[in-house]
Amino acid sequence: MAGSKTYLRPTAFVDAPFGYDGKVARLAGGLQFFAAVEIIREGSKELVPVEGIEARLGEAEQAVWARLTSPRPPLRLGERMIRLDQPQVAGILNVTPDSFSDGGRFADGEAAIAAGHAMAAAGAALIDVGGESTRPGAKPVWEGDEAARVLPVVQRLAGSGTAVSVDTRKAAVMEQALAAGAAMVNDVSALTWDPRAAEVVAKAGCPIVLMHHAGPPETMQDNPHYDRPVLVEVYDFLEEEIDKAVAAGIEREKIVVDPGFGFGKNVQHNLQVMNGLALLHGLGCPVMVGASRKRTIGALSGEAPADRRLAGSLALALKAAGQGAQLLRVHDVPETIQALRVWRGLRDTALIPG
């Protein structure tokens, strides 16, 4: 870990703060409260209670603590406001013939539009439309073909009042999709693939998702390796890309971060990221997690195919929600919404004094 940099990972989550004045803190203005922090420095880790922690922190660490405990303002997607004081669902809509998860079921525009409407009706806060597969080994798609796939879907969904984001690395596709009604950009390259991308997002003034990755889709799963703990490398990468985005004119309040589950990570890396996910709230941005139907689930369940990974997807979604993730990017919207409603019922009951 470079220099004397310190990382703060919230842990020891408790059901409710009642009776624990000064002993617990609220995580990012959400529904989770924690009683301890793992302080991570080069070559050492220390578990300390929340009570009295601020007196132990230096100036830089105080700034991280403030970000951990500050509420996240709502995201504005066009006319829609998405609250981030509770987990929200982003429905995945792959308008591609070679999607790993759905085998191109929605490559037809009308089928994709119907699926998007169904996800919105089931409770998805937004629909994330993508026209280029970024599964391991996938080849880049020409921007003209990608735009032709996504634009009719974006236009119809946005025209019906649905909040839409566009999942793309390409500035030209971003521009056209935003003009067609998309209100957010989700870039798996964190604005590093296309040199014009940051300028396009800054000019549009829209929210942007910056995702951690290690290499392009063609090679990212060729023996992924990290010299330091994977979560620390993910944190540092995202912190650097946030700074670059802000320098390019993008408002920090409009930046969402994604740890990139499955992007340049093996099974062990993915599980380590999920176990320590709360660390990423120290970046001060909402956290999106997209673990739905990923290969790690198959690897842990007898190589179950992508369409048989619902239970594992729900387990990871609830794990992320339990660590304060604000956005869950999923394929199975109704099932995830139901799981979150039960989770939310448990949280609400715990937060009623008595």
The contacts of residue 95 (CB under 8 Å, 6+ apart) are 106, 107, 109, 112, 129, 130, 131, 149, 150, 153
CB 302 within 8 A of CB 285: no
As a whole number of Å, the end-to-end CA separation of the chain is 45
The contacts of residue 303 (CB under 8 Å, 6+ apart) are none
CB 68 within 8 A of CB 27: yes
Given the residues 156, 169, 329, 347, select the one marked as catalytic: 329
Given the residues 169, 294, 309, 347, select the one marked as catalytic: 294
Tokens 């999709």 correspond to 177
Has 294 been annotated as catalytic? yes
- Asked whether the CA dihedral 61, 210, 249, 233 is positive or negative, the reply is positive
Whole-number Cα distances in Å, 120 to 52, 99, 149, 333 = 44, 21, 20, 9
Catalytic residues: 294, 329
